[in-house]
Structure 1
Amino acid sequence: MFTRYDPESAALTDELRERFDEFGEGKWTAAELENHQTGKLREVLAYVRANSPFYREKLRDIPDSVLAGLRVGDIRNLPFTTKQDLQQAQFDVLSLPVSDAWTVYETTGTTGNPTPCPRTNGDSIHNNTVLTAYYRDIFARHGNRQVIGISGPTELHATGDTFGDVCRNLGHTVAKMWPHSPVIGFDRALEVMRLLPVTGLFCTPGMALRLAQKAVEAGLDPRRDFSLDLIMLTGELLSPSLRDNIGTVWGADAHNCLYASQEASVLAAATSDGTLRTAPLINHYEVIDPGTGEPAAPGPDGVRSGELVVTNLYTGAKPLVRYRTGDLVRMSEPGPGAAVPAPALEPIGRVRDRLEINGHVVGGYDLENLLLRRFRGYLDYQITVTRDDTGTDLLTLTLNTDLYRQGGTDTQRAVADCREELDTALSVAFGDPGPITSTGAMVSWKAARVVDRRDPRATTSTESRSAERIAAARA
């Protein structure tokens, strides 16, 4: 492998593998973790101050002596980095020239300027070690010799390289398939899945549903005519209800496998206990009130809810300091039986994806989970929000149900759930929402999944226009 060929990368791989094995086995104390994070934080701050034009300016009012003495508990004294900062600063955020990276990715740029996301060998090794360590037990349940399909959004995305490298680390064969490519297409992708056969698949939730739709249109049964045992889902909002439905459609073990971004890399990964868990050896995490920027206090159950802020704890092409992800999360400390002694992280949607329905503010994750809870076997869905003459909000759930046979009890219970939790009437309709629902990974959950007829501006937003444009091209 490459890491054995390059001595520096080989040494880093060995060091991180040993470190993650010890951490996963519970051999690190809280004090040791804090000291590790503090040391890495100081290293990163000195590094970006010296090498990144953006951070040199961002941190110019903080004396070197203060940065050198900072502990992780003091991190809130540093300024935030925002998505707008990255879009405006572009290459000035980088701490190394692009020529020092091994590869270059970029954000999709569907709703703003794409930002460069180069990766050094060290960047990839840090992040891929997390996934290799966390995924090992999940894959082990399904045998040692698997053929894993990988489907990503664009050639400039990290999906193919990242999951390909992790599968190689775990000893599995990889087939990279891009069904939206004009060269491959869905028909050929489905043919390859049957021919090899593909036993595991990394893709977005929308892609998993779209592949199932195309299979049904071709007269195939996803459960009977394919060999999928494992589906690793990422790249879009994914509630437990939708995850379980995708597993039902394909007859496979489905996981929400990764929470990450092109800008900040791996932030949490699936573990064998069924949860996404953070990677505190390579990142520091904060949960803040998105309105005030202050730390979010734990609730009675110990869960912290708010916007996630992350600081990378490794040097490389583009380490970020106090990066506001714009994503709402719920974070809880690990309890007995945790597969990895790291906090569980539940991404619940972007801040701007929240909806107010009859006085209730609800995020995309919770709304999706509520409305889809009682249904299984559907191939797609869309939510429509309207308002009647009395000013009351109404919801309609449209399901593509080629595989699903309507059960009156489930529909009635879904209607009752919505009335109880949101004080809102729900209608359930049946049909094909069309290709716009496949654009979530490129745009946003809200633009892909919600038709809000209450406000004409909602359908003319930049994200909505981008979703329509991508959907038209895919159609």
Structure 2
Amino acid sequence: MFTLYDDEAAAVGRGIISRQRDFAAGRWSEERLAAHQLEAFRATLDHVREHSPFYRRHLADAPALLASLSAEDLAAFPFTTKDDLRAAQQDVLSRPLSKAWIFYETTGTTGAVTPCPRDNTDSLHNNAVLTSHYETILRPYGEDQFIGVSGPTEMHAFGDTFGEVCRNLGIAVAKMWPHSPMVGFDRALAAIREIPLTGLFCTPGMALTLAKKAVAAGLDPARDLPVEVLMLTGELASPALLAGIGELWGARAYNALYGSQEASLLGAAAADGHLYTMPVINHYEVIDPAGDAPVEPDADGVLLGELVVTSLYQGLKPLIRYRTGDLVRMREAAPDRTLPAPVLEVLGRTRDELSVGGHRMTGYDLENLLLAPFGGYLDYQVVLDSGDDGADRLTLRFETPGATAPRTDETALAAVRDRLGVAVGVEVGTLGSITGTGAMVSWKAARVVDRRTERDAESAAALALAARRS
């Protein structure tokens, strides 16, 4: 409603909605998109040079004008890193904090807290594009939806973003934080049943934790909870995990969003389940994570490397060539997909890669491989050991209803052993709270117990957080 009192914001909102609708409908040519991105990239450069103390210093030796978006021209502009943001703090901002409409910050579980405020320009661009994506998913569920939003903290954009997007779509929302002492999991489960809720926005860990609490209360999530759609974000989510969570809840599970507090929204799902880029509001590069050169596409045209993004809107904290620290696979747009944008697979943080049996694997690919043979579980964890012969051994720990063995495709499990070249065992037991900490730390810290190495700082942070939640 604030746009009724702000003519400038109303005009910005109408403009981004019009552009995004045209783009989503396939009415933008490659030439139009390229021209839009170059013009917007230049506008962001001008904006931060004039208004951000950090970027005034950071870009002092960069060219006055960006000639094109070619790799050669972009290379003249330095990357922005997480360490830059931690060191610069409010100097990164391109407007005073008083010009924000809301203040968020990072959680600080794995490094210094950094401010992530939003102004109206930021939220209008991100939420308009996100609404366009989610309309393709949620419209088919009808007019009587009521969706729960369960985010990580009160100082996170999670609740406001998804609440506003649902409001844009005419969908009612209940914001509930099960980890809050004023709510708790018992009340959250009761609210799901009493309202009743037809969908949930939450992390994969929260979806599993809610299901575990439901089973402990004598409920079958698929039978006794009314949820039809799970919009999952904030953690690694491979296709195999999504399938497992969807089966557990009797619902369709989407890897709904990719982004960060620092860089805002970078990708979102659409009706076909793919995670799409947002090229109207972001510029994307994929670079060698060990260096700074752009990667070359493979034989199928897929780019594999670290994602680098630049904001194409001039809000309170636009970022230039921001190294996300995340490994991605990016595929070009295809004519048979829901949206005419490149598709992302977010493979985990660069430091989440693991060596198993001499095979270097991303968290996404390892999770997808290991969970594919199994079903009927409530949660999982990976344990890595070295045997007396020095060979790697892998154990999958599952938590299941009634402590029964998970449903297992033995042929598929044998294929996993062959693929990795290691012994793969299966155990059943109670896993505790640590597996639900992925959104606050990392997939590896939450899901992997690697006894071959010393415990690192993120693993220690995950254990401390799990202890507080217990």
TM normalised by structure 1 equals 0.97
Note if contact 2:352-2:443 (Cα within 8 Å) is conserved in structure 1.
yes
Match of 2:330 in 1: 331
Gaps of 5+ in 1: none
Match of 2:44 in 1: 44
Report the Cα distance in structure 2 between the residues aligned to 1:407 and 1:315, rounded to whole angstroms: 50
Report the Cα distance in structure 2 between the residues aligned to 1:467 and 1:430, rounded to whole angstroms: 22
- The C-alpha deviation readout for 1:103-145, integer Å capped at 9, x for no partner, is 0100110011010001000100100011100110110111122
Note if contact 2:377-2:406 (Cα within 8 Å) is conserved in structure 1.
no
Match of 1:474 in 2: 469
Report the Cα distance in structure 1 between the residues aligned to 2:467 and 2:406, rounded to whole angstroms: 33
Note if contact 2:400-2:406 (Cα within 8 Å) is conserved in structure 1.
no
Larger mean Cα displacement after TM superposition, 228-237 or 8-17: 8-17
Indicate how the Cα distance of structure 1 residues 315 and 428 shifts in structure 2: closer, same or farther if over 3 A, else same.
Answer: same
Match of 1:242 in 2: 241
Match of 1:451 in 2: 449
Match of 2:83 in 1: 84
- The C-alpha deviation readout for 1:317-361, integer Å capped at 9, x for no partner, is 110000000000000011121111100000011000001112110
Taking every aligned residue pair, what percent have the same amino acid on both sides?
Answer: 58
Note if contact 1:376-1:404 (Cα within 8 Å) is conserved in structure 2.
no
The offset of 1:225, in angstroms, is: 1.3
Q: Give the residue type in structure 2 aligned to 1:37.
A: Q
Indicate how the Cα distance of structure 1 residues 384 and 5 shifts in structure 2: closer, same or farther if over 3 A, else same.
Answer: same
Q: Give the residue type in structure 2 aligned to 1:440.
A: G
Match of 1:391 in 2: 390
Indicate how the Cα distance of structure 1 residues 408 and 119 shifts in structure 2: closer, same or farther if over 3 A, else same.
Answer: closer
Q: Give the residue type in structure 1 aligned to 2:324.
A: T
Report the Cα distance in structure 2 between the residues aligned to 1:378 and 1:140, rounded to whole angstroms: 30
Match of 1:421 in 2: 419
Report the Cα distance in structure 1 between the residues aligned to 2:211 and 2:58, rounded to whole angstroms: 48
Match of 1:179 in 2: 178
Match of 1:463 in 2: 458
Note if contact 1:209-1:246 (Cα within 8 Å) is conserved in structure 2.
yes
Match of 2:23 in 1: 23
Q: Secondary structure of the equivalent of 1:141?
A: helix
Q: Secondary structure of the equivalent of 2:360?
A: strand
Q: Give the residue type in structure 2 aligned to 1:30.
A: E
- After TM superposition, the structure 1 = structure 2 runs for residues 280-295 of structure 1, keeping only pairs within 5 Å, are 280-295=279-294
Note if contact 2:375-2:406 (Cα within 8 Å) is conserved in structure 1.
no
Q: Secondary structure of the equivalent of 2:323?
A: strand
Indicate how the Cα distance of structure 1 residues 413 and 7 shifts in structure 2: closer, same or farther if over 3 A, else same.
Answer: same
- After TM superposition, the structure 1 = structure 2 runs for residues 99-138 of structure 1, keeping only pairs within 5 Å, are 99-138=98-137
CA RMSD of aligned residues (A): 1.3
- After TM superposition, the structure 1 = structure 2 runs for residues 95-244 of structure 1, keeping only pairs within 5 Å, are 95-244=94-243
The offset of 1:414, in angstroms, is: 4.5
1:438 matched to 2:436: yes
The offset of 1:377, in angstroms, is: 2.0
Q: Give the residue type in structure 2 aligned to 1:28.
A: W
Note if contact 1:38-1:72 (Cα within 8 Å) is conserved in structure 2.
no
- The C-alpha deviation readout for 1:135-179, integer Å capped at 9, x for no partner, is 101101111221010000000000000000000000000000000
Report the Cα distance in structure 2 between the residues aligned to 1:261 and 1:432, rounded to whole angstroms: 31
- The C-alpha deviation readout for 1:13-48, integer Å capped at 9, x for no partner, is 111111111101111110110100000011000110
Q: Secondary structure of the equivalent of 2:141?
A: coil
- After TM superposition, the structure 1 = structure 2 runs for residues 360-375 of structure 1, keeping only pairs within 5 Å, are 360-375=359-374
Report the Cα distance in structure 2 between the residues aligned to 1:121 and 1:271, rounded to whole angstroms: 25
Report the Cα distance in structure 2 between the residues aligned to 1:346 and 1:165, rounded to whole angstroms: 26
Q: Give the residue type in structure 1 aligned to 2:365.
A: D
Q: Give the residue type in structure 2 aligned to 1:465.
A: A
Match of 2:358 in 1: 359
Report the Cα distance in structure 1 between the residues aligned to 2:381 and 2:403, rounded to whole angstroms: 16
Q: Give the residue type in structure 1 aligned to 2:468.
A: A
Match of 2:273 in 1: 274
Q: Secondary structure of the equivalent of 1:284?
A: strand
Match of 1:343 in 2: 342
Note if contact 1:42-1:70 (Cα within 8 Å) is conserved in structure 2.
no
The offset of 1:404, in angstroms, is: 8.2
TM normalised by structure 2 equals 0.98
Report the Cα distance in structure 2 between the residues aligned to 1:374 and 1:454, rounded to whole angstroms: 25
Report the Cα distance in structure 2 between the residues aligned to 1:205 and 1:113, rounded to whole angstroms: 25
The offset of 1:316, in angstroms, is: 0.8
Q: Give the residue type in structure 1 aligned to 2:274.
A: T
Indicate how the Cα distance of structure 1 residues 404 and 288 shifts in structure 2: closer, same or farther if over 3 A, else same.
Answer: farther
Note if contact 1:289-1:306 (Cα within 8 Å) is conserved in structure 2.
yes
Note if contact 2:44-2:318 (Cα within 8 Å) is conserved in structure 1.
yes
Q: Give the residue type in structure 2 aligned to 1:12.
A: V
Indicate how the Cα distance of structure 1 residues 429 and 407 shifts in structure 2: closer, same or farther if over 3 A, else same.
Answer: closer
Indicate how the Cα distance of structure 1 residues 336 and 390 shifts in structure 2: closer, same or farther if over 3 A, else same.
Answer: same
Note if contact 2:94-2:316 (Cα within 8 Å) is conserved in structure 1.
yes
Q: Secondary structure of the equivalent of 1:255?
A: strand
Larger mean Cα displacement after TM superposition, 71-80 or 14-23: 71-80
Task: Give the number of equivalent residue pairs.
Answer: 469
Q: Which runs of 4+ in 1 moved over 6 A?
A: none
The offset of 1:5, in angstroms, is: 3.4
- The C-alpha deviation readout for 1:62-88, integer Å capped at 9, x for no partner, is 242x34x45455223211111111111
- The C-alpha deviation readout for 1:192-215, integer Å capped at 9, x for no partner, is 111100101000000000000000
Note if contact 2:405-2:428 (Cα within 8 Å) is conserved in structure 1.
no
